[in-house]
Amino acid sequence: MDNPHPISIGALVSGLMSDFRCLLRQEMELARHEMEHERHKLSSIMIQSGIGLLLGMIAILFLLLMVVHLLVTYTNLPLWACFGIVGFISALGTGGLLYRVARIGAGLRLWPFRTFHSLKEDIRWIKERVLSTRT
């Protein structure tokens, strides 16, 4: 049975190229949206961390001064020793907080992995279709 509407090879190739350009445009748009989403997460983390650090440092400063005065009042330690004890404990706490920030930062993705995986799959699919039409 003959096809009543034969399609030329040129039309097929032209349609394939048009579809490929459209697919590439869509993948680039997906990559842009994915990167924008990650950038918003990063800026939110930075702003909240900055505000939290500022307020936390002010509060901790006053609390640490209070602890130093309590140690001086209720122990026979000299003032410099009380500051040393409080400073050492503060350094341990700072280390713990920095460790948590590093763990949060490790979860950031600054590269659009899903988009590139999708693009690789699309290219693989196109290759399979093109090669399957040759046989």
Domain hosting 25: range is 9-134
pLDDT tens per residue across span 35-86:
898 899 999 999 999 999 899 989 989 999 999 999 999 998 999 999 999 9
Residue 1: pLDDT above 60?
A: no
In a domain, 3, yes or no: no
Q: How many domains in the chain? A: 1
In a domain, 104, yes or no: yes
In a domain, 96, yes or no: yes
In a domain, 17, yes or no: yes
pLDDT tens per residue across span 111-130:
777 777 788 888 888 777 77
Mean pLDDT, to the nearest integer, of 95-106?
89
Spatial separation of the C-alpha atoms in residues 88 and 99, rounded to whole Å: 17
- The answer to whether 50 and 56 are in contact (CB under 8 A) is no
Rounded to two decimals, the pTM is 0.44
In a domain, 100, yes or no: yes
In a domain, 1, yes or no: no
Spatial separation of the C-alpha atoms in residues 74 and 72, rounded to whole Å: 6
Higher local confidence (pLDDT), 70 or 19: 70
In a domain, 119, yes or no: yes
In a domain, 2, yes or no: no
